[in-house]
Amino acid sequence: MNHPAASVSGSLNTMLCLRGQAVVRGYAIGRAVVMGAAALEVVHYRIQPEDVEAECQRLKEALLQAQGELQYMIDHLPDDAPREMGPLLTVHCMLMADRMLSDQACLLIAERLYNAEWALTTQGQTLAEQFAGMEDEYLRERGADIRQVIERVLRVLSGRPVVLPDFESAQAGELIVVARDISPADMLRLRGAHFGAFLTDLGGPTSHTAIVARSMNVPAVVGMGNIRSLVRDGDLLIVDGMTGAVLVNPPAFVLEQYRRRQEAYADDRAALALLRDAEAVTLDGVRIMLEANIELPEEAVQALAAGADGIGLFRSEFLFMGRESLPDEEEQYEAYATVVRTMQGRPVTIRTLDIGSDKTLDGDTTVATNPALGLRAIRYCLANPDLFRTQLRALLRASAHGRVRILVPMISHMHEVHAVKRALDHARKELDERGQPYAEHVEIGAMVEIPAIAIAIEPFVEQLDFLSIGTNDLIQYTLAIDRADNAVADLYDPMHPAVLRLISHTINAADRAGKSVAVCGEMAGDSQVTRMLLGLGLKEFSMHPQQLLDIKKEVRQSHTNALRVKVASALNRAERIDLSALAAG
C-alpha cells in the first residue's frame, strides 16, 4: 500500500498531520488499531435466474442472524455499558427488520440478478442517500446507522468473524481506534479494552461515536475523511482532542511536547475533580450559583454528578423535535417530574417551548421570510394556545414534586407576560377541575434575549420572579449577526460594549428589585469571560455540566469587588473590555 507515514523515521518533514472535528476534549498518545470495513471489500457478481430464490433466502437468513446477535447484546447489556447503548442497538435492530431493506434488496436480486451482498449495499446506499438529503442534522447523521447495519449483515454473509482490532499486537501505550465509523455494537465489543481515543472517517458532533465517546470520556475526532487509508496498524499517533489534529508518527521532540501537555491536562482535570464538592465562593466571600443547562431529562444525572446547584435551563423543545407527533401532557409531565426528582429539591428551571428559527418541529413546512424574527418561542406558543396550555399543565403538575421555575423565551412585550399569566391561571383551573395537585407558588421568569426587554427591563422585573439572560440570542439580535451564519461569524462578538451594557443594565435592575438573574447562554460556560461576568455583578451562571468545574475554579480565584471596579470603569468609557486586564482580579 502506498502509505505516506510508512517511511517516517521521526523527522518533522515526514510527519503526517491530519485534521478532523474534535468532539470530545483531551489528549491521547498511542498506537493505531485500524478496524476493517466489510462494505468496502464487498464482492459483486450476477447470479443465475434459477438461484434467485436461494439468494433471497441467504440474505433473509443473514438479516435474521444479525438481528439475533444484536438482540442478544441488548438482552445482555453489561451494567456499566453507556446508557445510550441500549436505545442505539435497538434502532439498529429495527432497521434490520425494516422491510424497506429486505424487500427492496430481494427485488434487486430478482430483477437485476445481483448477488445478496451487492443488492444489500445498493439498497443501503439508496437509503443512506435519502437520509443525507434531510435538513435536520440529527436525521442526516442517521445515515450512518444504515451503513453500520449493512456492515454487520455483510460480515454475516461473508461467513467471516467480526474484524476486531488486534489488541495483542498493539505495542506499548494506549490503543487508538481508527475506523470508518464505529457502530454502537462495535463500541460495546471494544468496551473491555483500554482506549486512548477514537478517530473516524465519518461522523459529526451528534454521531454515535461522539455520543458514546463523550459518555466514556474518551477523546474523539470525527469526520477525518480518509484516515483509515493513511494510517496503519501500529502507527504511533498523537490525538489532540482540543483542536482536532492527529499527528502520525511524530518525531521525539513533538512527542515530548504533547506528553507534557497531556500530563498538564490530566493534572488540571484531577485538580478540578477535587472541586466537585467545594463551594463556588469568591475570594471575597460571595456565593455564586452554578447551574446546568440540559436538553433531555436523562442529562439531569450528569448535572447532579457535576455538583450543579440546580438546572438553570432545561430546553424543553428537545422533547418535541425529531418526531412525528407532539408529546402529550402525560409524557411531558413524566419528563419534567423526572428532572425535578433527580435534582432532589434543587431548583429546576424549565423553559417553555422555544421552537422556530433553527429549531423546527417535524413536518412544519411554514416558510417565514426571516424565521429568527418570526413566529418563534413565546410568539408561537401564544398563537397555539392548546399546545401551550398542555405544556403549562404538565409543568404545574411537575411542580408538586419539587421546585419548578417556568422560564419563557423571547419575551419582548409586556402583554406577552400578561398572556402567559392568564394561560397559567387557565391551566391551574383545568387541573383543579381534575383534582390534580401542583405547587402553590411557581416562579415565572423571562429570557432576556431581545435587546428591547433589556433596554426597558424595569417594568418586566416588577412583573416577574426572575430573569435569565440568553446571551446567544441577545448577541445575535443586538449586533444583527445570524448566530448560525459562518460568513459573519467573526462579527459575533460577546465582548461588544453594547452587549455588555445590556447585560449590565439587566443585572443592576434585577439586583435593585431583589430578583434573581442568571446568564444561561454559552458565555456562562466560557471560563475566559467568567471574571468579566462577575465584574458585571452576575451571581448565577448556567452552562453545560461538563463546563461547571472550570467555572467553579475561576470563581474561587476571583475577587468580585476588585472586578466590579475594573469592569464598571471600562463600561463607562464604552471601551471594549480587555480580558487580560481582569486576570488578576
Query: Footprint of ligand PEP on this chain (CB under 6 A)?
Result: 313, 315, 354, 449, 470-473, 520-521
Which one of the spans 18-26, 138-146, 236-244, 447-455 is the region binding Mg ion (CB under 5 A)? 447-455
Q: Which is nearer to ligand PEP, 315 or 379 (CB)?
A: 315
The answer to whether the CB of 478 falls within 8 A of the CB of 498 is yes
Ranges of beta strands (E only) in 169-286 are 174-179, 195-200, 220-222, 236-240, 245-248
Alpha carbon separation from 397 to 314, 439, 460, 522 (Å, rounded): 16, 8, 26, 30
Q: Which is nearer to ligand PEP, 246 or 469 (CB)?
A: 469
Which of 470, 494, 525, 585 is close enough to bind Mg ion by CB under 5 A? 470
Q: Which is nearer to Mg ion, 299 or 473 (CB)?
A: 473
The answer to whether the CB of 123 falls within 8 A of the CB of 105 is yes
Q: How far is the CB of 340 from Mg ion (least distance, A)?
A: 23
Which one of the spans 16-24, 31-39, 142-150, 443-451 is the region binding Mg ion (CB under 5 A)? 443-451
Q: How far is the CB of 476 from ligand PEP (least distance, A)?
A: 8
Q: Which is nearer to Mg ion, 299 or 449 (CB)?
A: 449
473 binds Mg ion (CB under 5 A): yes
Contacts of 560 (CB under 8 A, 6+ apart): 282, 284, 286, 534, 535, 537
Q: Which is nearer to Mg ion, 377 or 567 (CB)?
A: 377
Q: How far is the CB of 226 from Mg ion (least distance, A)?
A: 38
At residue 301, the 3 state secondary structure works out as helix
416 binds Mg ion (CB under 5 A): no
Residue 20 binding: pick among Mg ion, ligand PEP, none (C-beta 5-8 Å cut-off by kind): none
What 8-state DSSP symbol labels residue 47?
Answer: P
Q: How far is the CB of 488 from ligand PEP (least distance, A)?
A: 17
Q: How far is the CB of 447 from Mg ion (least distance, A)?
A: 6
297 binds Mg ion (CB under 5 A): no
The answer to whether the CB of 232 falls within 8 A of the CB of 32 is yes
What 8-state DSSP symbol labels residue 19?
Answer: E
HEC states along 110-154? Answer: HHHCECHHHHHHHHHHHHHHHHHCCCCHHHHHCHHHHHHHHHHHH
The answer to whether the CB of 359 falls within 8 A of the CB of 317 is yes
The answer to whether the CB of 537 falls within 8 A of the CB of 508 is yes
Scored b (16 or more CB within 10 A) or e, 521-558 reads: bbbbbbeebbbbbbbbbbbbbbbbbebbbbbbbbbeeb
Distance between CA atoms of residues 106 and 95, nearest Å: 16
Q: Which is nearer to ligand PEP, 214 or 483 (CB)?
A: 483
Residue 471 binding: pick among ligand PEP, Mg ion, none (C-beta 5-8 Å cut-off by kind): ligand PEP
Q: How far is the CB of 473 from Mg ion (least distance, A)?
A: 4
Q: Which is nearer to Mg ion, 470 or 494 (CB)?
A: 470
Q: How far is the CB of 451 from ligand PEP (least distance, A)?
A: 13
Which one of the spans 210-218, 359-367, 419-427, 465-473 is the region binding Mg ion (CB under 5 A)? 465-473
Q: Which is nearer to ligand PEP, 213 or 355 (CB)?
A: 355
Q: Is 520 a catalytic residue?
A: yes
Q: Which is nearer to ligand PEP, 310 or 521 (CB)?
A: 521
In the block, cell 445481483 appears at: 114
Which one of the spans 4-12, 18-26, 151-159, 462-470 is the region binding Mg ion (CB under 5 A)? 462-470
Q: Is 381 a catalytic residue?
A: no
The catalytic position among 56, 93, 381, 520 is: 520
Which one of the spans 53-61, 173-181, 473-481, 484-492 is the region binding Mg ion (CB under 5 A)? 473-481
Question: Alpha helices of 226-373 — where are they, by DSSP H?
Answer: 227-230, 252-273, 300-305, 329-342
Residue 520 binding: pick among ligand PEP, Mg ion, none (C-beta 5-8 Å cut-off by kind): ligand PEP
Scored b (16 or more CB within 10 A) or e, 171-180 reads: eeebbbbbbb
- What cell does 234 get? 501500529
Residue 115 binding: pick among Mg ion, ligand PEP, none (C-beta 5-8 Å cut-off by kind): none
Q: Which residues, 120 to 149, sit near Mg ion by CB under 5 A?
A: none
Q: How far is the CB of 356 from Mg ion (least distance, A)?
A: 10
Q: Which is nearer to ligand PEP, 399 or 476 (CB)?
A: 476
Q: How far is the CB of 451 from Mg ion (least distance, A)?
A: 13
Q: How far is the CB of 467 from ligand PEP (least distance, A)?
A: 12
Distance between CA atoms of residues 198 and 28, nearest Å: 10
Which string of DSSP letters, residue by residue, matches 360-373?
A: --TT-----SSGGG
Q: Reading across the β-sheet that carries 236-240, which strands appear in turn?
A: 16-19, 245-248, 236-240, 27-34, 174-179, 195-200, 220-222, 21-24
In the block, cell 476493517 appears at: 36
The answer to whether the CB of 521 falls within 8 A of the CB of 448 is no
The catalytic position among 56, 93, 208, 381 is: 208
Distance between CA atoms of residues 38 and 554, nearest Å: 49
- Please name which of 129, 160, 131 lies closest in space to residue 41, comparing C-alpha atoms: 160
Alpha carbon separation from 499 to 105, 290, 377 (Å, rounded): 57, 22, 22
Question: What is the residue type of 282?
Answer: T
Active site residues: 208, 520
Residue ranges binding Mg ion (CB under 5 A) = 449, 470, 473
